């Protein structure tokens, strides 16, 4: 069974701190990995994609991928109250997206 | 990013009636679209893959006769929930990938269905 697991939340961080989100996946053949942000009552919004081992930075967001360990992470630097949302890790299996349960992040002002 | 438009954003219907939800790709063509369902406090679950010009592919446990999918053009897929019941109340979301081999999915706004 193909699964995507995320670290359980909720995660509460003070404004300006780093929020660290983790994700593991079971299908070693997966090649595409994504992080989505979902505000309450809204649909997911793509914030990062990563396909190769290593780090990928985009503004305050850094995604890290380690295919050997089947591990994907997302760092949010200088967290802002507007970053408060649920973050979904998604992995492509057979051209379909499988989602983790999500980690809810709350940034305290 | 690419724009996927979903309509309606919310709908309330009586038990036993049918509801149609539309998903449009506004600035690109999508030969494949995906339909998800999300219950409160849960993640997205793929219901079916909508293929332009051919039958949809349903995930295990999803009733194809209850959730009718039509993908008649490269920019429009529809999901019809037939004979809706209160347990069908959920957040339904469609997505489409931009580009032939791209796996980056862009989501519609979602439709909140409430069956009373």
By CA distance, what is A102's nearest residue in B?
A: B43
Structure tokens at A8: 């359980």
Average pLDDT over chain A, rounded to an integer? 94
Q: Report yes or no: A9 at the B interface, CB cutoff 8 Å.
A: no
Instruction: Identify which of A43, A95, A100 has the shortest CB distance to residue B109.
Output: A43
Q: Report yes or no: A102 at the B interface, CB cutoff 8 Å.
A: yes
Residues in chain A within 8 Å Cβ distance of B107? 43-45
Optimal mutation site among B60, B91, B103, interface A, most CBs of chain A within 10 A: B103
pLDDT in tens, A41-87: 999 999 999 999 999 999 999 999 999 999 999 999 999 999 999 99
Q: Can you give the pLDDT at residue A94?
A: 78
Q: Can you give the pLDDT at residue A1?
A: 54
Q: Can you give the pLDDT at residue B30?
A: 86
Nearest to A37 by CA among A77, A101, A83, A92: A83
Q: Can you give the pLDDT at residue B11?
A: 97
Average pLDDT over chain B, rounded to an integer? 92
Does residue A23 sit in helix, strand or coil?
A: strand
Q: Which of residues 71-110 of B touch A (CB under 8 A)?
A: 93, 95, 103-110
Encode A56-91: b = buried (16+ Cβ within 10 Å), e = exposed.
Answer: eeeeebbbbbebeebebbbbbeebeeebbbbbbbbb
What does residue B80 show for φ and ψ, rounded to 5 degrees?
-110, 120
What does residue A9 show for φ and ψ, rounded to 5 degrees?
-110, -160
Residues in chain B within 8 Å Cβ distance of A90? 105
pLDDT in tens, B42-88: 889 999 999 888 899 999 999 999 999 999 898 999 999 999 999 99
For residue B2, is it left (φ>0), alpha (ψ between -120 and 50) or beta? beta
Task: Report the gap between the CA of A102 and the closest CA in chain B (Å).
Answer: 7
Whole-angstrom Cα Rg for chain B: 13
pLDDT in tens, B19-48: 999 999 998 888 889 999 999 888 899 999
Give the DSSP H/E element, type plus range, for residue B58. Answer: strand B57-58
């Amino acid at each position: 069974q193909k699964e995507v697991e995320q670290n359980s939340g909720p995660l509460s961080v003070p404004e300006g701190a780093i929020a660290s989100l983790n994700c593991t996946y079971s299908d070693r053949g997966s090649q595409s990995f994504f992080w989505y942000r979902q505000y309450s009552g809204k649909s997911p919004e793509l914030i990062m994609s990563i396909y190769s081992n290593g780090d990928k930075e985009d503004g305050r967001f850094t995604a890290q991928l380690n295919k050997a360990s089947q591990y994907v992470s997302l760092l949010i630097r200088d967290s802002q109250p507007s970053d408060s949302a649920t973050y979904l890790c998604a992995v492509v299996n057979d051209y379909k997206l499988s989602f983790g349960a999500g980690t809810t992040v709350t940034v305290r002002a | 990013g690419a724009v996927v438009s979903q309509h309606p954003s919310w709908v309330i219907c009586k038990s036993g009636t049918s509801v149609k939800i539309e998903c449009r790709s506004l600035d690109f063509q999508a030969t494949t679209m995906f339909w998800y369902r999300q219950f409160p406090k849960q993640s997205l679950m793929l219901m079916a893959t909508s293929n332009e010009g051919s039958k949809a592919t349903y995930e295990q446990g999803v009733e194809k006769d209850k959730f009718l999918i039509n993908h008649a053009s490269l920019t429009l897929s529809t999901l019809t929930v037939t004979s809706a019941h209160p347990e069908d109340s959920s957040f339904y979301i469609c997505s489409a990938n931009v580009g032939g081999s791209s796996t980056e999915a862009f989501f519609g706004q979602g439709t909140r269905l409430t069956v009373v």
